[in-house]
Structure 1
Amino acid sequence: MIEQGFVYSGNPARVVFGFGTTAALPEEMARLGTRRALILTTPAQEDAGQKLADLLGETAVGVFPGAVMHTPVDVSDLAADRARQIKADVVVAIGGGSTTGLGKAIALRTGLPQIVLPTTYAGSEMTPILGETSGGQKRTQTTAKVLPQVVIYDVEHTMGLPVALSGASGINAIAHAVEALYAREANPVISLMAAEGIGALARGLPAIAQDPANRKARADALYGAWLCGICLGSVGMALHHKLCHTLGGSFDLPHAETHTLILPHALAYNAPAAPEAMARLRTVLGADPALALFDLGRAVGAPASLAALGMPADGIARAVDLALSNPYWNPRPLERDALTALIQRAHAGAPPLAA
């Protein structure tokens, strides 16, 4: 029963989901009316970009294998210049959040449409959010200008994703949906997607850890990541994402692994102020959702602590200062001592504890 009114805004995107769906790329380019694709990858995935170029033939006019973590502004500017030089009329990004972020940055600068082929569970392809790093700080903005027009989910691209990266990337996706449940703009439609997405990932990720070739588990995880990405793209962010943006941009920590470590602690912090969200989370994660997420990280082989990621202990105070400056809306007020304790526990690899 709906007791209160709500606002739901659906972001436009065409989704092609399944096994072997990469073959649809030429058709999707034609559907957009485009004929000159700039293909984006990270340096490690350049071969995947070249395979797309081979598939597209003469409609592929360049491969830019320079996407890197946290989307540095100078890389974005360089890639946008490349797109202009070769007169690209569409950007095709294949990879995880770093590559998707670069595609968004190019779209913001040039107005080009985007087609994204995710190879991880990052979910960024479903959001109108762009985060770019400059001068040691990551700044985010939300604009429909960076929304991809087409997303091709091909489960085959995730079959070789290493177990540890699969787990961290998947828990990163779960974080999108967890915060959507208690976001200021939360609504019942997004909450349904959030629970479905979290449940699919909570099923799929441990099965992938046991058998990386489990096709059903891989499909569950990618499906869950899609839904969780929709959640992030439809409502606002809160403490968890603020902390992860702060830590990633300021200490150059890996994106998905940082989300994996912070999520249980941020959820425990907000639990007292979000009873409805916690009740829904218990239906898919069990009696103690924060501890369940902490245990899930261990089960999938994710790093155990911020210290293991390379964050110095003397950076905790700076991280708290940054989190308190220009904070995101949060259901529980931000308290310096409690935030310090939260980051200290994540730094040490201790289990979450409600403050």
Structure 2
Amino acid sequence: MADHKLAFTHETLGQRVILDAGGARRHLAEEVERLGASRVMLIAGDGEARIADEVSAGLPVSLRWREVVQHVPVEVAERARSAAAEAGADLLVSVGGGSTTGLAKAVAMTTHLPIVAVPTTYAGSEATRMWGLTENREKTTGLDPAVLPVTVIYDSVLTLSLPVALSVASGFNGLAHCVDSMWAPGTDPINQALALEGIRALTTGLPKVVAEPEGIDGRDRCLYGAYLSAVSFASAGSGLHHKICHVLGGAYDLPHAQTHAIVLPHVLAYNAPAVPDAARRIARAFGARPGQKDDPAEAAVTALERLRGEVDAPRALKDVGMAEFDIPGAAARVMKVVPPSNPAPVSRESVEILLRAAWAGRTPGSRS
């Protein structure tokens, strides 16, 4: 019998990535000049208006777009696309979180304008070619190379205004990218390595952000971890966790980061027993040191729960706007998009049990 060989196909996305605390304005000006842009469409919601003004000072901004809505409703995307065409924009600059980046992607998808992304959260959308649009309570996602930002500029100083609670939720969004990437449909050893390093970076960074909100080191670590999480996710694709969260966000308009933070431990508890080697590696990335006789799935969930308690991450879907009577319908919607390659068998009943536990904020893996 032939020895097992290491074999995989990994696709690496081409992108310029800059991380430099305090350097966003300078680097953005350099990128606009390098790309030869003269009519910039600056996309930033009202919450990022001050930051956007600071980093874009002196740039040839021909259009300032402020309408940013989570989950990117189709009608908002269409208005932004029309405005970009009317303004003759030749470059999109997004300053903000995942919703802002998502809107820039929606514009780029039809206009093929390049994007320079300046993230202010740990969402990770800036490092993927995935787009998402919501219409009639249904969130549709897809892949398109046209939506991948040509440059990402990370500046931890820009995240100092992000409240600690939202920083934690956003960081757990990044952790969800990492965990899902360990068994998503396109997983391979390279994106698993990136995902595990992303978990380590976020696990060390988030407690620092909580303990010292004005500190740079913790926020630098979180931006680094968020990038790694997104790069791994971009290659591995959407696993069960992301399919669930896309359904909940699109159908029930739940807040993106908080939903990921709440659902993640429950999906980990569901899938980890089916992939003990991945669970063992995840546990160690979270800081656990399981012995040979320890259950790797239990170790991984316990380590994540320890972190969740340390940083006071969100725990219950009922706290972020989901109604209990929506759970059966949500489970039915999830069943339509479950990846066939999910490591554990999935049924409508099992999804409903998982959602009820997440809704109530129960201990992951329990029914009571």
Instruction: Provide TM-score, normalisation by structure 2.
Output: 0.92
Give the match for residue 248 of structure 1.
Answer: 249
Query: Against the structure 1 CA distance between its residues 80 and 352, is the aligned structure 2 distance closer, same or farther, given a 3 Å change threshold?
Result: same
1:2 positional shift: 8.2
How far apart, CA to CA, are the structure 2 residues paired with 1:266 and 1:334? 11
Q: Does 1:309 pair with 2:312?
A: no
- Worse-superposed segment, 330-339 or 127-136: 330-339
How far apart, CA to CA, are the structure 1 residues paired with 2:306 and 2:320? 18
Give the match for residue 10 of structure 1.
Answer: 12
1:24 positional shift: 1.1
How far apart, CA to CA, are the structure 2 residues paired with 1:320 and 1:313? 12
1:149 positional shift: 0.4
CA root-mean-square deviation: 1.6
- Worse-superposed segment, 63-72 or 281-290: 281-290
Give the residue type in structure 1 aligned to 2:315: A
What SS does structure 2 have at the residue aligned with 1:258?
Answer: helix
- Worse-superposed segment, 85-94 or 179-188: 179-188
How far apart, CA to CA, are the structure 1 residues paired with 2:49 and 2:34? 26
1:98 positional shift: 0.3
Give the residue type in structure 2 aligned to 1:64: W
Q: Does 1:20 pair with 2:22?
A: yes
Structural mapping, 1:335-346, within 5 Å:
335-346=347-358
How far apart, CA to CA, are the structure 1 residues paired with 2:335 and 2:79? 33
Give the residue type in structure 1 aligned to 2:284: T
1:5 positional shift: 0.3
1:354 positional shift: 7.0
1:32 to 31, 35, 51: 35
Q: Does 1:45 pair with 2:48?
A: yes
Contact in 2 for aligned 1:177/1:194 (Cα 8 Å): yes
How far apart, CA to CA, are the structure 1 residues paired with 2:155 and 2:319? 32
Structural mapping, 1:1-355, within 5 Å:
3-22=5-24, 23-56=26-59, 59-285=60-286, 286=288, 287=290, 288-329=299-340, 330-353=342-365
Contact in 2 for aligned 1:20/1:155 (Cα 8 Å): yes
Query: Against the structure 1 CA distance between its residues 139 and 294, is the aligned structure 2 distance closer, same or farther, given a 3 Å change threshold?
Result: farther
Contact in 1 for aligned 2:71/2:249 (Cα 8 Å): yes
Q: Deviations over 1:201-256 (max 9, x none)?
A: 00110121111112111111111111101111111211100100011111110000
Query: Against the structure 1 CA distance between its residues 30 and 99, is the aligned structure 2 distance closer, same or farther, given a 3 Å change threshold?
Result: same
How far apart, CA to CA, are the structure 2 residues paired with 1:116 and 1:37? 13
Q: Deviations over 1:126-162 (max 9, x none)?
A: 0111111000111101111111100001111112211
How far apart, CA to CA, are the structure 2 residues paired with 1:143 and 1:328? 20
Contact in 2 for aligned 1:298/1:304 (Cα 8 Å): no
What SS does structure 2 have at the residue aligned with 1:352?
Answer: coil
Give the match for residue 296 of structure 2.
Answer: none
What SS does structure 2 have at the residue aligned with 1:47?
Answer: helix
How far apart, CA to CA, are the structure 2 residues paired with 1:331 and 1:143? 27
How far apart, CA to CA, are the structure 2 residues paired with 1:52 and 1:214? 20
What SS does structure 1 have at the residue aligned with 2:322?
Answer: coil
How far apart, CA to CA, are the structure 2 residues paired with 1:295 and 1:252? 29
Q: Which runs of 5+ in 2 are unaligned?
A: 291-298
What SS does structure 2 have at the residue aligned with 1:151?
Answer: strand
Q: Which runs of 5+ in 1 are unaligned?
A: none
1:36 positional shift: 1.1
What SS does structure 1 have at the residue aligned with 2:57?
Answer: helix
Contact in 2 for aligned 1:264/1:291 (Cα 8 Å): no
Identity of aligned residues (%): 39
Q: Deviations over 1:167-208 (max 9, x none)?
A: 000010011111111123221111111111110100110121
- Worse-superposed segment, 290-299 or 143-152: 290-299
Give the residue type in structure 2 aligned to 1:153: Y
What SS does structure 1 have at the residue aligned with 2:58?
Answer: helix
How far apart, CA to CA, are the structure 1 residues paired with 2:301 and 2:241? 13
What SS does structure 2 have at the residue aligned with 1:174?
Answer: helix
How many pairs were matched up? 353
What SS does structure 2 have at the residue aligned with 1:55?
Answer: coil
1:3 positional shift: 3.3
What SS does structure 2 have at the residue aligned with 1:84?
Answer: helix
